[in-house]
Chains A and B, each alone.
Chain A
């Protein structure tokens, strides 16, 4: 039986408006061919400004040493590693959308995957900055690479979670970049073949690698995408698992928790989807892509947010329960005194985290709220604030007051250089995102065309009448009869 292009009317269209293939190209490539708007320039310049501030902050730290940060005797990891985990987590939604949803054949991913993958790459770039500059003597950073050397050879410790992190993050970055770029090739070729300006022909000619759209190339491209998705799926789960191992394999009360890997992964997807919402709500508006990133997309992503937010909530409560049930004095102290006790120095951060991550996303149980753009945007920011505080709570409240009161640290506040570094990564992230949205198609053009016939409004309308017909008749009418034997889940 050949496959038929049929999808139930119950599912709303993923591309609204009367779109043919050419209109899809026009709509998505238009922003690339137009001059950047005033809003783009303002946003871009602010980002570059933040990036500059970040570069100054990091330079200051390198010149004068890590002592420029307010880290102290027990708080060896403060804002820096908090920011690292936060940025890595944000990256995860991109891979979830591009890889896991591809394996699950979720058609709606096509509207958002390109931008989400770009977000992943930029977020991982930002994340990578923190451990590197935290080294202090950053010119020694290459010591983390295992290679035969003249220092012994002194090898790296392959049993250390910190080294696992080096491998996990660098692999994650490389694979995400390859996945993203191989998906971009056909779309860059689309821009190239439409280009009128000389520089555009040259630039997109180089970046599209001479893509022609040959049937054989598409066949390989599909195979490549599928296998890369299959590889990225366990990879993305492994990355945040390994990041959680940085804490979970230690013996610090509050950190050595077996629940960490799934809890971190859920939290990563939670914050990542929030960042996707923040970016796409603005992107779809500014680039006029509301017909491709529809309210349905927003709705679905909000469902993921309420699901993962609730998983995170369950994890918080489980931790608390085990701290009490385990009857370990130090574990109990880390949770009940350093976190839950609202009068403890950092008690406020625990309740901020609980409020932002567990309570506030529950608003998305209501369909009306999920489909409200203002609420969604506001919530996406709240969630990311909450997720930043989650990492802060885990890191700082576990280490600032431990076994003996004489070694309790003083209250930790970041210096301007720590804050500047963090803001600088926002600069890096948004500078990259602005350049991406100007020079690359923010929606996967070829993939939208691929789902157009089953999920485009224009085609779905026609299907409505046919839904009453018996399936066999319908199938007979819509079969190409091209000897397509395999059961592709269209």
Chain B
């Protein structure tokens, strides 16, 4: 198990290294180079030369890359053009909030999707299965922004029980203290995930129900409920673990839409505003964080995999 995790961790480091190269290359692909991007169309050639020299952009690419890495390790991701603040500080402030939103909605989605998928698998072909399948597809096909609008109209306007705007607290604790404001963003984000996860759960359970070991479990004299909980559930969760890790980047992009809709002060909103204002250092900083998150997500999948499936553990 340890060997397996060490192996995966080393692989993750390699991927992170590649991510840093990609972001570095992106930085150099900015239209007209970073100098033009920052100084704008009105910058004189002299200003651009000075800027490049000052920032080290006139040195060789490998040297620049090492400087970039050095800055990266000291937490220097450059300064935002618009917000007049270091990108690192912005991310430090916003990332926990986006994580809060993502984690809450994922947990909510998983908590709903697993029993839902089980239920559908057990009731396969019955009316409740069809109804839930229909609902799942409806939710799955609905764009997040539309779903968010419907939620706002329903629960903030028609039935004014929940605020339409997310809390604007400075820290995660402050956000949590205004929990009612979190409900709509979290639920909106969770719905799309529930649809997908419950479909996966349903088919994973159905696959497992035809396995011989379920028949063996029946032959021991267990009730169907016990077989579901003690035998099928864990085996059915294995494919779901893969999905969870692969889904993480998608979750971040979902957060982007949801945050901008509910004016939630997370990384997605930061990215959204930076994109509109061509605030490149911020965009690249967020890209880097999402890249890292993706790598960590797949690492987490592997860990989860190893926990759930003993066969994976002994391969390493």
A is bound by B: no
Interface positions of B (Cβ within 8 A of A): none
Interface positions of A (Cβ within 8 A of B): none
